[in-house]
Amino acid sequence: MTEDLSKFNAAQAALEYVKDGMVVGLGTGSTSAHFVRQLGERVRQGLRVKGVPTSEATRNLAEQVGVPLLEISQVTAIDLDVDGADEVDSAFRLIKGGGGALLREKIVAAASKRMVVIADESKWVETLGAFPLPVEVTRFGFALTQTRVGEALRTSGCAGGEVVLRISGKANEPVITDGGNYILDAHAERIPDPEALAVALKNIAGVVEHGLFIGLSQVVILGKAKGADVKQ
Ligand code: 5RP
């Protein structure tokens, strides 16, 4: 309950960064959902923005609450991206993809002039890695890719090396992303060198994208039970 209020407060603080006429990247997850709902309220009050959703779930929500949308193919640049995170460190490096939307989230973040991260304060960590790192992989050959991802964890100095195929609780089948791929959750436990791990993962055939977001965010808003702490 407090966590949800903190997420709401982070989302509310991010509205400050939205200006009339902007194209805004709309993140995925429960914190981003608060933002999309609040943005919808502002649109009803007259704010003119266009959103670029990072998942089908966010697209559906944005349509429900009346945020006008653009396809990613219709934009050359995005003014502002507002998205959640699973972990954030003091260098504003993130783990994302807990909701499985990391590929579209990273494409939108990379196309944005500014990324504002919204999260409850529990997401702020000294070292990334306690939250399993999501890695989106092709279905073809995923078991081989899984082994390579485990090797990348070890060679880049991570404490853990277990890599698990994400299974949907409901269907008891592998989770399929919006891009039609699988997600591996890499239990690194502690990532001492996120940059090195990011390079190692990108070099593996079969890895479509990973959830380390490095050098992409400029503002981090940590929501609290009362208000929010803005870091930039
Ligand atoms: C989805 C994400 C989310 O931003 C991340 O999982 C945080 O989610 P929440 O706001 O529900 O805590 O990366 O792919």
Per-residue pLDDT of 35-94, as tens digits, reads 999 999 999 999 999 999 999 999 999 999 999 999 999 999 999 999 999 999 999 999
The pLDDT of residue 1: 66
Q: Confirm or reject: Cβ of 40 under 6 Å from ligand 1.
A: no
pLDDT at site 3: 84
Catalytic (active-site) positions? 105
Q: Is 99 annotated as a binding residue?
A: yes
**Average pLDDT estimate for 162-170:** 94
**One-letter amino acid for residue 78 of the chain:** I
Residue nearest to atom 4 of ligand 1 (CA): 84
Q: Would you state the pLDDT for residue 2?
A: 80
**Mutation choice for ligand 1 from 5, 9, 26, 32, CB with most ligand atoms inside 8 A:** 32
Task: Give the pLDDT score at 170.
Answer: 81
- Tell me: is residue 186 an annotated ligand-binding position: no
- Convert the pLDDT of each residue in 20-45 to its tens digit: 999 999 999 999 999 999 999 999 99
Nearest residue (by CA) to ligand 1, atom 5, is 85
Alpha-carbon distances, residue 10 vs 23, 46, 92, 124, 190 (angstroms): 20, 22, 16, 13, 26
Are 188 and 181 in contact, with CB atoms under 8 Å apart? no
Q: What percent of the chain has pLDDT over 90?
A: 97
Task: Give burial (CB, 10 Å; 0-12/13-18/19+) of 147.
Answer: exposed
Contacts (Cβ under 8 Å, ≥6 apart) of 32 = 11, 26, 54, 58, 82, 83, 84, 118
C-alpha 168 chain-centroid distance: 19
- The residue whose C-alpha atom lies closest to atom 2 belonging to ligand 1 is 97
Would you place residue 164 in the very low, low, confident or very high pLDDT band (cuts 50, 70, 90)?
Answer: very high
221 CB within 6 A, ligand 1: no
Atom of ligand 1 nearest to the CA of 84: 4
Nearest to 120 by CA among 14, 12, 217, 228: 228
Instruction: Give me the mean pLDDT over the 8-15 stretch.
Output: 98
Q: What is the ipTM of this complex?
A: 0.98
Model confidence at 160: pLDDT above 70: yes
pTM for this structure?
Answer: 0.97
Residue 156 predicted with pLDDT over 90: yes
Instruction: Return mean pLDDT, the chain.
Output: 97
Given its phi and psi angles, is residue 65 left (phi above 0), alpha (psi -120 to 50 degrees) or beta? Answer: alpha
- Is any atom of ligand 1 closer than 6 Å to the C-beta of 206? no
Burial class (CB in 10 A: 0-12, 13-18, 19+), 143: exposed
Q: Is the CB of 109 under 6 A from ligand 1?
A: no
